Structure 1
Amino acid sequence: MRDAEFIRKVLIALGLLAFALVLWKLSDVLLLAFGAVLVAIILHAAADALVRYLRVPDRWGLTVAGLLIFVAFIGLAALFGTQVRAQFSNVVERLPFAVDNFAKNLGLGSVSDEISEMVSDAPTGGLASRIAGIGGAILNGIANFLLVVIAGLYIAADPRLYTRGLVKLFPKHQHERVESSLDASGQVLRLWLTSQLIAMTCVALLSMGAYWLIGLPSPIGLGLIAGVMDFIPFLGPILGALPAVLIAFTVSGEAALWTILAVLVIQQIEGNVIQPIVAQSVISVPPAMALFAILVGSILFGTLGLIFGFPLAIVTYVLVKKLYVRETLGEETEVPGEDNGDSPQKVQS
């Protein structure tokens, strides 16, 4: 009897270990699924805004929101697609020279020459495989983006179907607890995404205007880079400003100083003006925790971990406060995203 009990426990342990290994192998797929959930949340936020402010019928809100976003994307691509593509190409062409110029100012020599020597010394087959690998990575990124958008549309069409399916994976007496935790996490993600998209748009527009006034080449492309990278808290603004600063050094030292000053001013405006306006009641995720979450995500899961590290930290923050601090330890604590009758709570990056 004891042997049977021991074997049962060993099999359970092995099963849990195998399950953890499968999750690790499927980490990229799970992160893409999380990205699809974010897309669904954005669509529902847009649909709710249409229903609330434009009196669109509830049953048509999601369809109208999806069509408006698609039409807006196609319209912007038609109006500015050629100009944006040309400016992005200009940025890509200028960046190697900008990096060389910056490296020479630091006494490091020509970086592009060293890269060229490495490429010329590489075997032909190795070079071809590297080029093929870069092309494959680009195609894989495009495919992942389309997958996330399409899956997000399916999830947005009937979110309760997927929520109920996830809840049923847990014991029946835990269903209410799990469902309330998912609702709180979804509400917090929605609030954060809304404020983040507004902040990204403002940063992109402010950056375009500042870079145009300074006289940098391709201000639209550089501004879009700054706005898109602002999605990643802490590290994103630095990564988004880096191309503009490097290219500014190729123009003049004065342009570089003005660019650095513009970046600092824009970040101050975002943190002290834009975020307080879009977030009426703020609950801040501890900055150190958020920063380490982004770093750990990038180390474990690469680019996807870097992109989704902070929203995953938000979900973890909510679940720990609700399921562990409040319900396991019995401590009284306010859980972000819960509907407690007060004004909506916001999460600040």
Structure 2
Amino acid sequence: MLLSWTSRCLLRPLALSRWSARRSVMDLHAVVSHLNALAPPGLAESWDNVGLLVEPSPPHVVHKLLLTNDLTEDVLEEAIVLGADMVLSYHPPIFKPLKRLTCGNWKERLVVKALEKRLAVYSPHTAYDALRDGVNDWLGRAIGPCVSSPLRASSSLSHPGGRVHVVEFSADLSESLVERVRCLQGVRLRSFTVREDGQDRTRVRLSCSQNALQQVMAVLEEDARVYSGVELLSLQKPPLTDTGMGRLCILTQTVSVATAVERVKAHLGLNHLRLALGRGKTLDSPVSSVAVCAGSGSSVLSGVSADLYLTGEMSHHDVLDAVAEGRSVILSEHSNSERGFLKDLRGKIAERLEGKVQVTVSQSDRDPLEVV
């Protein structure tokens, strides 16, 4: 049956849009590279598990990316129904090492099903906690305009070539050892002259990685005279001034505790929060400084001088400590302090991927706790 000219004109844009949708894809490793550029994994805490956690066998392209705070079985089903190729889970679903992959444990089932359905899984977690304009800056804006700075500054990401140690020793004692050390992989070596006790002496200074350090010391130990004069320095990168865990927010306009509570409710889309008033404080007490830590804030907020602590959860005794110091505490539950950031993150990721990947936020993701 021949289609009319009008019908062909109407169907052509639909066909083109479907063709464009099929063409709007990006290789998985290109997507991961862009995500790592947005929040460098090197900013994450040492105990964290960030980056690409589940990788389907290549080649794997990403057409649709689903964002979630927690990857639960409900969220995974949502991703499958949506036809997603990748899930970004703010919290890493794989944290403790898995010894087996069976269907007897829900976290193991997540990995099994993700691989079966060819779903990649990525987690940024504390890399975005530390990042400027990340989750903590987003949470701090709940109470109003402010100037923020990290509570615990991060260090620069890495040393050039991975060199983290400097070793110095006298070269006059054993030239043969110097040549053997010079040949080790991962070692950068130079010599210089120093004046000691009226005499010129040759010193060797080398930089090396942690792995190379063991080899260097094994060589130098062969000569007791050399080894006894070895000096070792572990390098540290300078702190990043605007990057780190938690935020101290100095408000441009003082508000009351009651106003702060209402603004946090509105920002997080919650009807209820938990509030502990600092000793001697009331709902009308002024708030000009807020210490913020999305998620679990006890270790980051402890002892920080601020009128108000804002976090997802704190232990009972840490709340008592804060109250005794005259600091009020707002608790929203752990993931409620982070989930709303995904809407901001969606725009940043979509822009970074240049519209080649559809980026959506999960509708199934929610905090496991609710007020009843």
* TM-score, normalising length: structure 2: 0.20
The higher radius of gyration belongs to 2
User: Counting strand residues as a fraction of each chain, which structure ranks higher?
Assistant: 2
User: Counting helix residues as a fraction of each chain, which structure ranks higher?
Assistant: 1
* TM-score, normalising length: structure 1: 0.20
